[in-house]
């Protein structure tokens, strides 16, 4: 089927909503945000040349994500949908290839997405690199810690938005993968019906010496019986004392809510307070990554300062051919560089490249999975995989 691929305009968004509703469900009437042109949000459409009908769509969120303490330009993919009559005909592949090319042209280095069918995205070079985790806990199991001396708790207001984003950044920049939450769609004014942010109707801040050191944002939900639950969107702290104080706020709901669903950022101050061994359920939404531009991705991120050395490998990437070829990776003093070199004896495709660059796997593990081939010792690629395993806090 001959297709025209182009970025959609405001006039196209009602048709795009209908196509997305067929794929994912949802109300017949589109919410205002779905029909608005959003900053740094690129909506691509595939149109049947014969009829002019929209037969496929994809959204590329232009933003940044944290890797090694640095913000790396990212292309985060969502809303991939294809009309039922043409599924399996390569429409999604054509769309995503075009979106990747455009993302590279604007300077993106890495891409993330949440798959509905991982096999489809693996065929295009994305690989599963982690799990969007949450823990469902009985509120009665939460420790009653009381606010330590020096911690002041207060309700948050819309005026605290900047302080909340600053605190999130202090926490997120210490991990690999989280979005920056700055620029583009993150700068849109709060809607009247949710002035504290999406999914937040209660906001509590912890302060120490007048500085915000913790934030708890959540929805109360309905009822006060066995089915009552709190849905936490953010529970973040930069000090152990703030973490203990905010967990105690959640524990105070034990008389009227049975459970609380808390997003996880393993290794942060909050995960050291929560009784995660008592979780009755865990989130199971996997996420995937692929490199948009390998050379740019290596140079843009921060690397562990203790990692030094060099390794050569060959990349075969049919969807993003600019990544293909033989490369020499050099790391030194927290900086990385990828330069062209002669043929190497370790070969990997975009899936293996994503698994290693993100720190989600090891060289030998990738070889066992068939993502690294060739006679060279795959363990040498652990230099590429020396970052920490990625974590995400936001669904898109």
- CA pair distance 366, 172, nearest whole angstrom: 27
Question: 271 in helix, strand or coil?
Answer: coil
Is residue 180 within 8 A of residue 64, CB to CB? The reply is yes
Q: For the chain, what is the radius of gyration of the CA atoms?
A: 23
Question: Integer distance in angstroms from the first to the last C-alpha of the chain?
Answer: 30
Tokens linked to 81: 């949908």
Token pair in block for residue 304? 């562990």
Residue 193 has pLDDT above 60, yes or no: no
- Three-class DSSP category at 24: helix
pLDDT higher at 198 or 45: 45
Considering only CA atoms, which of 129, 68, 108 is closest in space to residue 296?
108
Of 88-102, 267-281, 311-325, the least confident = 267-281
Q: What band does 261 get if pLDDT is binned at 50, 70 and 90?
A: very high
Q: What is the pLDDT of residues 311-342, one digit of tens each?
A: 999 999 999 999 999 999 999 999 999 999 99
Task: Work out the pLDDT band at 192, boundaries 50, 70, 90.
Answer: very low
- Yes or no: say if 227 and 258 are a contact pair by the CB < 8 Å rule: yes
Domain ranges (residues) in the chain = 3-108, 134-282, 293-383
Tell me whether domains 134-282 and 293-383 share a fold.
Answer: no
Residue 194 pLDDT level (bands cut at 50, 70, 90): low
* pLDDT computed for residue 133 by the predictor: 87
Domain spanning 3-108, CATH architecture:
3-Layer(aba) Sandwich (3.40)
Measured on CA atoms in the order 111, 114, 119, 120, is the torsion positive or negative? negative
* CA–CA separation, 99 and 120 (whole Å): 16
pLDDT bracket for residue 282 (50, 70, 90): low
What SS3 state is found at 57?
A: strand
What CATH superfamily is the domain 134-282?
A: Gcn5-related N-acetyltransferase (GNAT) (3.40.630.30)
The CA–CA distances, whole Å, from 85 to 129, 288, 391 equal 32, 27, 36
| pLDDT tens track for 16-37 | 999 999 999 989 899 988 999 9
Mean pLDDT (the chain, rounded): 94
Percentage of the chain with pLDDT > 90?
88
Query: What percent of the chain has pLDDT above 70?
Result: 98
CATH of the domain spanning 293-383: 3.30.1050.10
Task: Write out the E strands in 220-308.
Answer: 229-237, 259-263, 281-282, 285-291
CB of 182 within 8 A of CB of 164? Answer: no
Q: Which residues contact 256 (CB under 8 A, 6 or more apart)?
A: 224, 228
């Amino acid at each position: 089927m001959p297709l025209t691929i182009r970025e959609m305009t405001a006039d196209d968004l009602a048709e795009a909503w209908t196509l997305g509703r067929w794929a994912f469900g949802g109300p017949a009437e589109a919410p205002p945000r779905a029909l608005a042109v959003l900053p740094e949000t690129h909506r691509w459409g595939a149109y049947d040349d014969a009829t002019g009908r929209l037969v496929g769509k994809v959204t590329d969120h232009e933003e940044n994500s944290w890797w090694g303490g640095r913000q790396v330009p990212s292309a985060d993919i969502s809303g991939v949908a294809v009309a039922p009559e043409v599924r399996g005909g390569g429409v999604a592949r054509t769309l995503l290839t075009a979106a990747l090319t455009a993302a590279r042209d604007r300077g993106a280095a890495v891409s993330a997405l949440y798959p509905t069918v991982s096999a489809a995205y693996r065929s295009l070079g994305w690989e599963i690199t982690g799990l969007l985790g949450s823990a469902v806990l009985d509120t009665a199991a939460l420790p009653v810690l009381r606010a330590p001396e020096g911690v002041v708790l207060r309700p948050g207001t819309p005026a605290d938005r900047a302080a909340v984003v600053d605190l999130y950044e202090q926490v997120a920049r210490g991990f690999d993968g989280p979005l920056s939450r700055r620029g583009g769609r993150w700068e849109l004014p709060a809607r009247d019906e949710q002035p504290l942010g999406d999914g937040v109707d209660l906001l509590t801040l912890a302060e120490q010496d007048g500085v915000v050191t913790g934030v708890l944002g959540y929805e109360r939900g309905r009822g006060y019986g066995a089915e009552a639950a709190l849905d936490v969107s953010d529970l973040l702290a930069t000090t152990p004392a703030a973490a203990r104080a905010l967990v105690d706020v959640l524990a105070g709901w034990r008389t009227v809510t049975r459970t609380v669903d808390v997003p996880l950022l393993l290794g942060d101050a909050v995960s050291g307070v929560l009784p995660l061994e008592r979780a009755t359920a865990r989130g199971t939404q996997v996420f995937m990554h692929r490199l948009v531009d390998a050379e740019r991705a290596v140079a843009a991120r921060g690397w562990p300062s203790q990692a030094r050395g060099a390794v050569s490998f060959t990349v075969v990437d049919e969807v993003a051919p600019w990544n293909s070829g033989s490369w020499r990776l050099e790391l030194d003093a927290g900086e990385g560089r990828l330069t062209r070199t002669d043929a190497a004896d370790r070969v990997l495709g975009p899936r293996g490249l994503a698994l290693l660059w993100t720190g989600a796997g090891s060289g030998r593990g990738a070889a066992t999975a068939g993502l690294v081939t060739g006679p060279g010792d795959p363990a040498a690629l652990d230099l590429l995989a020396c970052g920490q395993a990625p974590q995400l806090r936001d669904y898109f």
